[in-house]
Amino acid sequence: MSKLYIITGPTGVGKSTVSKEIAKKSKKSALIEGDTIYHLVCGGYKSAWEKGNHLKVFWENCIDLICNFLNNGYDVVFDYIINKEKIEELKNKFRKIYGSKLEIKFVVLMADEKVVIKRDKERPKGEQMKERVLVLLESFREQNFNKKNILDTSNIGIIETVEKILNDNKFFKK
């Protein structure tokens, strides 16, 4: 049975690093970094928060890519900034396609303000989000995700975070 890990959270909580480590732990896995898919568009590129963005085609591509890997026996780790509404939509879509044959683990990584600011400053200059880091953090707090799906990475390292996600059944999406 294949597994789908959906890892989300604001910038600076460790989504990319944790997702890579989870993918490495599986014998047959694919890591789909949403940012990479979103940045495939060159001409007409708009940031995801701007009017006229290309989120519609982005989500179509992500879903097709996830399904392609799942259909071929891969565990999939998908990492992107996803709101609560989209999570439910994705869960329902994958449940409709795969039913109970697919295990879905959904995790919202979070961290406190000091940590996300520090981690943002450690990024290359062109990748820093600056004040947008706090805007995204607040946005995630306001969405009231189910507490069982939230994992605070402020005071734990990558290895411990990965182990919690892999071994704690509370992250299963029903």
Instruction: Name residue 17's amino acid.
Output: T
Name residues of the chain where pLDDT drops below 50: none
- Do 62 and 109 touch, CB atoms closer than 8 A? no
Beta strands in 15-173, from DSSP E residues, in sequence order: 29-33, 75-79, 103-110, 150-152
The pLDDT assigned to 131 comes to 87
Beta bridge partners of 76: 4, 30
The pLDDT assigned to 158 comes to 94
The C-alpha angle 8, 46, 90, rounded to 5 degrees, equals: 35
Domain ranges of the chain: 3-171
Distance CA(170)–CA(164), nearest Å, equals: 10
Determine the topology of domain 3-171 in CATH.
Answer: Rossmann fold (3.40.50)
pTM tops 0.85: yes
Instruction: Name residue 137's amino acid.
Output: L
Contacts of range 95-102, beta carbons closer than 8 Å, 24 or more positions apart: 97/67, 98/70, 101/1, 101/2, 102/1, 102/2, 102/3, 102/4, 102/70
For residue 170, give the DSSP letter.
G
The pLDDT assigned to 172 comes to 86
Of 55, 120, 115, the closest CA to residue 89 belongs to 55
The pLDDT assigned to 85 comes to 92
The pLDDT assigned to 11 comes to 87
Express each pLDDT in 54-82 by its tens digit. Answer: 999 999 999 999 999 999 999 999 999 99
Distance CA(145)–CA(90), nearest Å, equals: 15
The pLDDT assigned to 174 comes to 65
Of 6, 23, 1, the closest CA to residue 158 belongs to 23
The pLDDT assigned to 126 comes to 84
Give Cα 142 to chain centroid, integer Å: 18
